Amino acid sequence: MSDRPILVTGGAGQLASALAAASRTVHRVGRPDFDFDRPESIDAAFHAANPSLVINAAAYTAVDAAESDADAAYRANRDGPARLAALCAAAGVPLIHVSTDYVYDGAKGAPYTEDDAVSPTGVYGASKLAGEQAILASGVRAIVLRTSWVHYHTGKNFVRTMLTAGKIRDRLTVVADQQGCPTAAADLADAILILTARLRDGWRAEYAGVFHAAGSGDTTWHGLACAVFEDAAAQGWKVPRVDPITTADWPTAAKRPADSRLDCSRLDRVFGVRLPHWRVGLRRTTGAIFAGGDI
């Protein structure tokens, strides 16, 4: 790889922001200059950047809204990434594409490996899976990273939502029967940058395909919320009571996977990369939030 920039899509999103904070070689693009709803903008941004590598962190992530706006979800999660992959393939540029645990139905009862069958339960997961498939069929040198429960000190995410709600309410109810692997965007960014360093030494056949990249260990949404408020209490915050509820108690338009834990051992085996424990990653996010004082 040359000294040309790494093009990161997703603008001011959590992962794009974390990547930009961690590396000066990153060139971020986002709306309106890069918009999956305007295919011509994809081409223009790609050619203007002349990248050595592309990290696609842009996506339609409104899980419930996707159920009533499938066209928009598929434009952003399938059609746009497919066009980006075609550009990368034509230019001989590798593509790292970020996907999701929502490609699984959550019925396995154990952490998913990359070889497990996919079976998304909603439009969001189905559109992200379609994007993976389009990229892998394009001929581009692609690494697809499935991650989960991402949080950062800026943007819209569960951690910030809990802290905001906890400031104004004495009691919260949080779903306790969905399991997953919380992932700090900063930890994911660090892992991706290790992958980009490997790619500078050249592409290898074993790099191609799907990898899981999430925080180590697992918990429930309720467990994550309790951990958030443990960190807040350590900062002297008055924290709310957090009561567990079931998924049935909190109906949503889209069905969430009940158990989307990810086995990330392939990433470790191929690249020597394992993300920190989710609790360590959470402290990284909450520490930055408390330091910034913007909640």
Residue 29 is assigned to a structural domain of this protein: yes
Beta-strand ranges (E) seen in the chain are: 6-9, 26-29, 53-56, 95-100, 142-147, 150-151, 171-175, 179-180, 183-184, 209-212, 219-220, 241-245
Q: Of 183, 97, 184, 187, give the one whose Cα is nearest residue 145.
A: 97
Residue 1 is assigned to a structural domain of this protein: no
CATH no. for residue 13? 3.40.50.720
pLDDT at 157 over 70: yes
Beta strand pairing status for 179-180 and 219-220? Answer: antiparallel
User: What span, in angstroms and rounded, lies between the C-alpha atoms of 186 and 278?
Assistant: 12
Residue 142 is assigned to a structural domain of this protein: yes
What's the number of domains the chain is made of?
1
pLDDT at 279 over 80: yes
pLDDT above 90 coverage of the chain, percent: 98
Residue 288 is assigned to a structural domain of this protein: no
The mean pLDDT of the chain is 97
The rounded radius of gyration (Å) of the Cα atoms in the chain is 19
Residue 130 is assigned to a structural domain of this protein: yes
pTM of the model: 0.97
pLDDT interval class at 147 (50, 70, 90):
very high
Residues 15-69 pLDDT 10s: 999 999 999 999 999 999 999 999 999 999 999 999 999 999 999 999 999 999 9
SS3 at position 270: helix
Using left for φ > 0, alpha for ψ between -120 and 50, and beta otherwise, residue 209 falls in left
User: What span, in angstroms and rounded, lies between the C-alpha atoms of 59 and 52?
Assistant: 21
**Residue 208: per-residue pLDDT:** 98
Beta-strand ranges (E) seen in 10-57 are: 26-29, 53-56
User: What span, in angstroms and rounded, lies between the C-alpha atoms of 102 and 55?
Assistant: 20
Catalytic residue among 102, 112, 124, 152: 124
Residue 295 is assigned to a structural domain of this protein: no
Q: Of 283, 252, 277, 273, give the one whose Cα is nearest residue 67.
A: 252
Residue 52 is assigned to a structural domain of this protein: yes
Residues 55-88 pLDDT 10s: 999 999 999 999 999 999 999 999 999 999 999 9
pLDDT above 70 coverage of the chain, percent: 99
Task: Give the domain extent around 18.
Answer: 6-157+182-216+260-276
Residue 98 is assigned to a structural domain of this protein: yes
pLDDT at 2 over 90: no
CB atoms within 10 A of CB 250: 13
Residues 93-142 pLDDT 10s: 999 999 999 999 999 999 999 999 999 999 999 999 999 999 999 999 99
- Assess whether 124 carries a catalytic annotation: yes
